[in-house]
Amino acid sequence: MSKTVQPSDLAVEDVPSAIEAGIVSAATAEASANGEPLNLDAVMRIPVTIQVVLGSASMQVANLMKLRRGAVVPLDHRVGEPVDVVVNGRVVARGEVVVVEDDNSRFGVSLTEIVGVQSKFED
């Protein structure tokens, strides 16, 4: 079970950890501390990089140099296993690869699990 943490619940020394854990943003904590209404418009416009990781492989440089067109590199994930959805280097969800309905030449990801943040703020 997780506990909802409001910026006003945090002690000054807790704010950096809460920001790092993604529970609150610095702007949210500062605005709440000053009694100002929260305006998240600026935060919502921040671009992030999203990657879907189908799997990974490890090989020696010599084997890497032997790869040619048509070579198959086995990955550590099996068919049917969930793929990782990574935002700015952090796994945030898992899902299944699907074909986009209106464009059969494109793939998408159907989210099946949202990965929670483990931190001292959870019970």
Lowest mean pLDDT: which of 6-15, 45-54, 58-67?
6-15
Specify the pLDDT at position 95.
93
Angle at the Cα of 76 from the Cα atoms of 70 and 81, rounded to 5 degrees: 105
The amino acid that residue 4 corresponds to is T
pLDDT in tens, 74-120: 999 888 889 999 988 889 999 998 888 888 888 889 999 998 755 44
Average pLDDT over residues 1-9: 44
Rg of the chain, C-alpha, whole Å = 20
Q: Looking at the whole model, is its pTM more than 0.85? A: no
109 token code pair: 């990801």
Residue 7 has φ and ψ, to the nearest 5°, of -55, -35
| Interatomic CA distance for residues 81 and 96, integer angstroms | 8
Q: pLDDT > 90: what percent of the chain?
A: 31
Average pLDDT over residues 56-62: 95
Answer with the residue of higher pLDDT: 19 or 56. 56
